[in-house]
Structure 1
Amino acid sequence: MRLRELVDDAELGLVVRAGAAGLDRAVAWVHTSELADPTPFLEGGELLLTTGLALREDACAELVERLVAAGVTGLGFGVGVSRREIPGELVESAERAGLPLIEVPRPTPFIAISKAVSRALAAAEYADLRRTSRAQHELAKAAGSRDGINALVRRLAKLLDAWTVLLDAGGRPIHAAPASTSLRGLEAEVESIRTSKGPSARILTLDDQEVSVQALGARARGVLLAGRSSGFSTADHHLINTAASLLSLALEQGRSFELARRRLTDGLFSLLLRGEDVNEELARLRLQPPAEPFRVVALGGAADDEELWSRLSAEHPEAFLAEHEDAVVGLVEEGEAGWLVRSGPPAGVSEPCRLAGLAEGVRQARQAAAAAGPGDVVRFAELAGNGLLDLLPAGRAAAFAESTLAPLRGHDELLRSLHAWLAHHGQWDPAAARLGVHRHTLRNRIRKAEELLDRRLDQPGVRAELWLALQADRS
């Protein structure tokens, strides 16, 4: 409520004696006091009412200064009780300080002013509740629409007149409104709240914006961000909390659905391995093996990696992925294995195969993955030299690898480069591409390895021995 609304209420009969320029100030509450200094009992925003019972003429200026410092909205002075009129010094001091000074006539009890303000505050609170209730209904309606999560994020942005972004469990954007919203400068905060076991919601300031960051669900299934240049009100935070609850529920339901779908896919994959005809069931799930011949990719030890599953499912919903023992197994078209193997776990890729030979393809991919290190990709064809290891006792093979590779110990970069170069038959460009370095960099590394090994790598016998040693070292 504004002071002006009180003054304009004819039934109250209030008269402005000073500080008329401040009548648009909001009244947070009404407080009555006859103390010479009531400021210790004020919070700011009050309309202070007094009859001046304890007010001395020489203390008017000091009282006004104290009230202004305390942040009061205005001073109401009741006349006809202890004083016939407002002291002139008080009027002058209030005018100089810009403090609204209102005369309350004798027939108007202070309680009437308190009731008027209380009614106005209650009405405003009720209006806020109704607006919040309608907005919450809109959010719930959006969440239940066909577009679901995306519609909810857009509706929240519109209701708040702010930008909103929804991130998945891995911190990658799922939906944003507007779509061009950038989270630059918020990366550290997002990562902190995504992995923190502490509070799940934070308010922070970025440049000139206030940003709300909320983790969704007890296990941080996602993160909701909202920001704008003007701060969020209490009602706005209610809306953000409502949206966060709805999104948490939707993400949890989506996770349950995905888990059920994965279990179905795993079961159908097992039937495929046994040669069963499950084409009709696959079609119902909108899952079809790729065109033959395809390759099998196995990601070793990744079956329990929820973040990996989430990323692969989000980026490639059409992919045929299944859990087989402790590995994630994917069927991919020839030449399309790259997206699956850029994931971190040891990866193995089979030779081209058909559904009739799926079991063999899985065996090849898993065997290749077993020979790969973290972040490495090994193709089954690269394991041809491993057959020699079976001819050696395990201890002899390990000793051979240890002695052969001893000059390169402590030079992991050289070992990885040597492995990639040998795996690509000494071809510089493919090996450099696999390592993500320039071919000249790879040449320098191989030259350094030659120097440390004191052997010529252009000799077939030397390459064969080193390849055997590398395979024995990884097994």
Structure 2
Amino acid sequence: MRLRALLENDALGLRLLYGENELDRTVRGVMTTDLKDPSRYLSGGELVLTGLAGLREPADAEVFVRAVTAAGVAAVAAGELDLADLPEDLVQVCARHGLPLFAVSQSVAFATITEHVVRQVSGERAGDLAAVVDRHRRLMTSGPAGGGPDAVLDLLGSDLDLRAWVLSPTGRRIASAGDPLDSERAATLAGEHLAATRAGRRAPHRVAAGGTTYSLFPIRNSGRAAAPGPRDVRETVLSDWLLAVEADAGEWPAARLDLLQGVTQLISVERDRRDAARTVRRRLAQEILELVQAGAAPAEIAARLRVAAPVLLPGFGNAPHWQVVVARVEWTQEPGQTPVDSGPVAQALLEEILVDPAATGADSADRIAVAHGGDEAIALVPLAAAPLPESEDGLSSAALGLHADSLLQAIRGPLSAGLAEDGRLTLGVSASVHSAEGLRGALEEARHARRVAAARPGRVCAAGHHELASHVLLLPFVPDDVRRAFTARLLDPLRDYDRRHRAELIPTLEAFLDSDGSWTRCATRLHLHVNTLRYRVGRIEQLTGRDLSRLEDKLDFFLALRMS
């Protein structure tokens, strides 16, 4: 706004003492002070309101005016109890430095002027920001991204002094401007947003967390929003992003609320663009899983895996290991209620869950390939091999895999809020496999683990391959592929080692179990020295992570050998 507009507003009680030719100066803010030198608190363009308490000597006026002029303020407005009380030397000094000076009527409070300036300047800046956002929208929709969500949030911070973050439904930080939001606070905001959405409360949702008020705006997936017909909140609540703003939107004028709604739409367009980039990964997963379920030849599946590996793990030279994760979202169905298509919901949610929690940004899910069929989502996760320190034979570990409990540990709270009282999420995680032959068993293993999770209480449950104990595998309803996966996971390291070193670990294990763990009888049977037998058994335990002095591990080996 201009100084001229302030002078023409009779309600502000301003009278110009100097600067008639400077009334087109722009006012960008307001500050009230009685300091003789307030320059450290000024950034330029302010209207400085002063009660003159700090100007006790004639020389003080020179110090004050020189300081505020150097800081680039727009003008000074001095309060007057009586016209005669306003120092004449202040008027002269302002004239000498070319600084406009106003007198403020004693009937007008500084707060009245401050409120008017802030309201007007904020409206002007919001209008300017809206124009910038509109330009940014055109850039992002007409070609490569013009900076992404971070650039939009930077505009909010620089032009409206608003700190803001874009969060996923689990609280993962996707974009931000300024200081990061700690993970616990982000998860709290995400949970509050999901709970408010499920309760049908109108956005923006205002939440107090850690003594600070935040306003939460949903960021809809515009692709789904454009679909014809009404949209069930359960179809989107677990996948929509949110914009968290450190401010109380309940005090905002309609123009600012409209501006923030425009910002969410702009970020939604960017999200759709990034979702489209997942199409290739989803198609790869769908093709591989269809081959696995159709019983295709391992060579055909292996060929597809070789295509998928460089897409999901760019720059990784060796063939990765693979893990399968199965997810299902189920809703309680009320009479007359339209069923929810849970497959896409589970797919979007599984893509979010599998992002490394330490990662930030909307492009941090590039390694994830998730397909869905019916109400089930299936993820194919590549794992880069992580070598252990080399032993004397150069042994290396299998890939470091995902653990069922750790996947949900940090996000169980927000997801439970989104599922409310009528939804459930269950996950199953397979062991890692290193070849196409093992994928079918891994898929069935993940599905069976999910059924184990579904038998537990709670809104969000997961189970992994390590929870499929040997006695469970004896039950008649356990699929043969799960049994075979269990056998391969336990014995394949020994078979591989035997092929490389001709160490006869498998025959040694069979003889040891047949001898009831007797070192002497087993050594005699194999025509070995007891120390050689102890070395072989030690190598078996090292390769499998089992302990042959434990009954449970002996039983697992016994069953694996019988089922192989």
Shorter-chain TM range is 0.3 to 0.5
Q: TM-score, normalised by structure 1?
A: 0.48
Relative contact order (C-alpha < 8 Å, sep 6+): which is higher? 2
User: Which one has the largest radius of gyration?
Assistant: 1
Q: TM-score, normalised by structure 2?
A: 0.41
